[in-house]
Amino acid sequence: MSAWLWIVAAGAAAVGAYLVGWPAWTSYRSRAARDLNAERYLAWRGRAARGAARSDGEGLTGDERRRLWIAGALALAAAFCLVGFFTYA
């Protein structure tokens, strides 16, 4: 395999990882920020739940978790192709 094919494959896998993973990560972070803002508002209005503070939120949804796993696999493939490029060249 040509060295250029290794670097093109690494770039394609890296771009794929970004395109798959970034929307899932931003939706998770925006949902967490929204939940925190709602909790702060309720505390300011005096209607916050008394007792133990709630956890960091619901966490990742199933779709977000799946997309982040796919993005991680693509990032790993990109790293593998990058190593292949450097060993071939």
CA distance 72 to 87: 23
Query: What pLDDT is attached to residue 36?
Result: 76
pLDDT of residue 54: 56
What pLDDT does 1 receive? 65
Closest CA to 14 of 80, 86, 65: 80
Which of 16, 17, 25, 22 is CA-nearest to residue 61? 25
Question: pTM of the prediction?
Answer: 0.76
Q: Looking at residue 10, what is its pLDDT?
A: 97
Q: What's the token pair of residue 61?
A: 């949804």
**Tens-binned pLDDT, residue by residue, of the chain (89 aa):** 689 999 999 999 999 999 999 999 999 988 888 877 777 777 888 877 765 555 556 788 999 999 999 999 999 999 999 999 999 86
